[in-house]
Amino acid sequence: MSKGRIRVRQVKSEIGFARDQRATLRGLGLRRIGAVSDLEDSPSVRGMINKVRHLVRVEEG
């Protein structure tokens, strides 16, 4: 059974936020405002998104 995919878009700058949050954005494949990353929907990815939820927008799909 195939897991779903989610699209994550960075909507706010990482400047001024903690170093671990910046590292989490990099781990999600995001480097700049407007960047989009298509990822497998898994608990680990959801946890990373939750950590930087104030910097990203998630699109199901």
pTM: 0.88
Query: Rounded CA gap, 7 and 20, in Å?
Result: 21
**Quick one: pLDDT at residue 48?**
98
For the stretch 11-54, pLDDT in tens is 999 999 999 999 999 999 999 999 999 999 999 999 999 999 99
Which domains does the chain possess? 5-60 (3.30.1390.20)
Burial 4-33 (b: 16+ CB within 10 A, else e): eebebebeeebeeeeeeebebbeebebeee
- pLDDT exceeds 80 at position 1: no
- pLDDT exceeds 80 at position 2: no
